[in-house]
Amino acid sequence: MTKKIKAFQAGDNHITFSSLISQVMIGRNNKATYLTLVLQDDSGTIDAKLWNAKPEQVESLKMGCVVEVTGDVIRYGEELQLKIEKIDIVSTDPEMQIQYLKQSPLSVEQLQAGLQSYIDQLNDEAIALIVSTLFERHMQAFLRYPAASRNHHEYVSGLAYHTLCMLKMAEAVCGIHPSLNKDFLYGGILLHDLGKIIELSGPVVPEYTLEGKLLGHISIGANLVAEAAKELGLEGESVTILKHLVLSHHGKMEFGSPVLPQIREAEVIYMIDNLDAKINMLDKALENVEPGHFTKRIFPLDNRSFYKPKEK
């Protein structure tokens, strides 16, 4: 049985396996061209080097290709790396590509049921109508999309899983601080990243669309809320607050929000979003590190390395 990437160990030589190319970088060394690839299957990823790459390999090995690879696993610093001996393209069929993508820990059915349970708890009429209308239209895409192209929850159904985790965290916070408005929290969380279904190309090797590059998911999401409210004939403070929750959820202007959080629930959404994303980044970085070693530097976390304690 072919090993999964997560099971690779330094010293695994001449192993052959299938994977998806999720990143490609071209480099030159002493006039020779080499490729740095990120290979992935549904268990994890590994950095790989193809030294002395042929021109036809540079041309054909692209993101999204399913490939069969033979190579040696070595340790490079604190990380494992694959030295490629042979690599062949197997397919570019989306149905095959998706087999090599990491999936949400929860099934699509579980995610949909979980999200719907929070939608059903909305009592504010305007917020409930806007949220339910938008999810009736976009639920299927929302359930498939990643939460990002990289950094956090960048896998099939990552967007829905991230959102559901945030909702559960918000529910716990409300249990401690019952004065918080659940309609604002749940409605804002449900819609905060809805614009990503337009910002990103899809679950397979997600890239930014034209709208994603020029507008960004925050403004796209706020526009979706505004359009739904207009269509439903809704206006007033709840509609304005719902837009604000979407616009302010990155917390700071330098992080992409056009306005700062200016109601209590907006600040809480920013903190919960940030916490869930960072925990996911840490989990992802640590899963490929052996106990007693450090992760590689994580740029969104102040470029810090994190230690994985030895198992007792």
What is the rounded distance in angstroms from the CA atom of residue 41 to the CA atom of residue 66?
10
Judge whether 290 lies within some domain.
no
The helix or strand, by DSSP H or E, that contains position 276, with its residue range, turns out to be helix 264-287
pLDDT in tens, 268-289: 999 999 999 999 999 988 987 8
Phi and psi torsions of 208, nearest 5°: -80, 135
80 and 206 part of one domain: no
pLDDT in tens, 69-96: 999 999 988 788 999 999 999 998 888 8
Judge whether 245 lies within some domain.
yes
pTM over 0.95: no
Q: Is the pLDDT of residue 225 over 80?
A: yes
pLDDT in tens, 168-200: 999 999 999 999 999 999 999 999 999 999 999
pLDDT in tens, 99-143: 898 889 999 999 999 999 999 999 999 999 999 999 999 999 999
Judge whether 229 lies within some domain.
yes
Spacing of C-alpha 161 from chain mean position? 10
Q: Is the pLDDT of residue 306 over 80?
A: yes
75 and 202 part of one domain: no
C-beta separation of 61 from 83 below 8 A: no
Structural domains of the chain, count:
2
The boundaries of the domain holding residue 229 are 103-284
Judge whether 256 lies within some domain.
yes
Q: Is the pLDDT of residue 150 over 80?
A: no
